[in-house]
Structure 1
């Protein structure tokens, strides 16, 4: 392993923690393209591509001023200071990783790149002092399963988690830490987070809006967002929420994941939350076509354990934890899920594996 200087990025000191050369070449080429574009003051617009988790990827354009304003707001909210060391364990493909670079440039911070894999902390020294770091839930499983990585993690002053909902089990595990840990709500269209839910210390149940963000709901109780700081139009999401006043909300589920089974709307995320403490391997709930019900609820897990006793144990968990209409009608156990470049489970592509 080695540390190399990479760029002086508008007074932000960039360093790279290398584990193997393919990482350096592939990962840094992506970032160098974005960095060089940002350093070119003649470039006033930047194109971001959505991850395509819930539909066809699309391109969205923001101005340099919008990126800078978002970065300054994050610095104020998280009390980020000039010279702070921030960790970047995310790929350059999408908005979360790129906005970490913009924050570093605008706020003159030091950045340490690490390989964006399942456990990006495993080779870092325990004594390293990191002020700010983003992760996705996929990475937290790897980090918290390793004592050394856990020791590094608990010394990070502020952690933000995005990209996918946190399970109830992971939320409880994180709540035991004493550093500042937040679940974030945001998307490419909002230049990452526009709301935060504190996980540690003192876990909160609601997402609270960042300054200058307004929200509402449509007839399906799906969240709509207007960010006055970025001067964007109202953005309609597919996230079903419960509003708490005009500054906070409780996230319920994704409308596009809802299963219509025999005329009953079933929310996969609610089932996943109910099972998360009892099913100790990655899984998700989905709906597949059924002649009688239209769609039936199925359980899709990632494990090598496919014994009859294990399947019986799962059925018992279903019957004691879920309402009858929520209980999966079929179980599929796979050796691997399909992930997109942003380390989110690609539910549609994973479901397609079932038919192969």
Structure 2
């Protein structure tokens, strides 16, 4: 049987020989350290809501994640993994660990917008992880869609799924799972199948994961892949009797404007049908009269907005409608592809 290993820049590194790697390429150094049995690794949170935090994750937690994921994905010896996320993020790191633990080939490509472009028309890849931004780019190109349709499973994570993207996913051949997790849980602790005959309405936790709500309605996680017990998140959630759950917002995205408390994530979900082809977010800016005012930020060159303002007010009461519309030609994004709201606003403020 041919040796399995990692492909990088047209070079092949068999798993059996990577233990002896002496170079300075970080992805190969990580694989060497893993194969040598290192126990702890440092990774960083995404930084989408603030400064990225250094987090120490341990081998037993990563192995628990790999084992629980295998029960869902059912990898076989013929699977091949395409890695098109930054290997230093938790999503990229765990793709590497799965490949090593499952004894599969993994091909490392640059974390570009459309990872299908460099692939051959007929390719061997069956498993990959994407962020929604990458999938949006793939879906713009029929040739890229044809390449994606050769995969068996796609893990989609790092951000929410809008209505337009969900509808497009229904036409794809591979099973697409929306993932829920974070660096502190060694990637996902729950999956939601988005398409196919067994598609799901909500996230379902992996085996061994237990969930409950804190007093402030945020999700508490007990899981073998988490860095500690009763891991408290900032995600506001609703849990059902079968332990399935849905995320309804974030605690740190609650805005108080004119004495009215508003959950920005809920309003973004309400407004999302208006923006099938535009990235957007809601943000709170300081305001002398209201304390904070909600603004709508669009990734676009400026355009006339009276019709848009009318539609926004039809969807929400006037006090929950954006008080201004901001145009940013290009959003800042984190290494994991999430919209970096804080730095996008900072960049906009410097030029306005």
TM-score where L is the length of structure 1 = 0.89
What residue in structure 1 maps to residue 283 of structure 2?
286
Aligned-partner Cα distance in 2 for 1:303–1:51: 24
What residue in structure 1 maps to residue 343 of structure 2?
349
Aligned-partner Cα distance in 2 for 1:297–1:199: 31
Aligned-partner Cα distance in 2 for 1:201–1:10: 38
Counterparts in 2 of 1:305-344, with a 5 A limit?
Answer: 306-308=302-304, 311-344=305-338
2:100 is equivalent to residue 105 of structure 1: yes
Runs of 4+ in 1 over 3 A off after TM superposition: 228-232
**Partner deviation per Cα, 1:220-248 (whole Å, 9 max, x = no partner):** 11001000466831100000011112521
What residue in structure 2 maps to residue 243 of structure 1?
239
Aligned with 2:298 (options 288, 295, 301): 301
The alignment of Structure 1 onto Structure 2 pairs a total of residues equal to: 337
DSSP-derived class of the 2:181 partner: strand
Q: Which stretches in structure 1 are left out of the alignment for 5+ residues?
A: 13-24
Aligned-partner Cα distance in 1 for 2:16–2:271: 47
2:149 is equivalent to residue 157 of structure 1: no
Aligned-partner Cα distance in 1 for 2:13–2:260: 55
Q: Which stretches in structure 2 are left out of the alignment for 5+ residues?
A: 1-7
What residue in structure 2 maps to residue 126 of structure 1?
121
Aligned-partner Cα distance in 2 for 1:55–1:129: 39
Aligned-partner Cα distance in 2 for 1:50–1:299: 26
Counterparts in 2 of 1:1-356, with a 5 A limit?
Answer: 4-10=10-16, 29-41=25-37, 43-202=38-197, 203-228=199-224, 232-279=228-275, 280-304=277-301, 306-308=302-304, 311-356=305-350
What residue in structure 2 maps to residue 20 of structure 1?
none
The question of whether the paired residues in 2 share the 8 Å contact of 1:214 and 1:246 is answered with no
Aligned-partner Cα distance in 2 for 1:135–1:187: 15
The question of whether the paired residues in 2 share the 8 Å contact of 1:75 and 1:81 is answered with no
Work out which structure has the larger RCO, using CA pairs closer than 8 Å and 6 or more positions apart in sequence.
2
DSSP-derived class of the 1:185 partner: strand
CA displacement at 1:134 relative to structure 2: 0.4
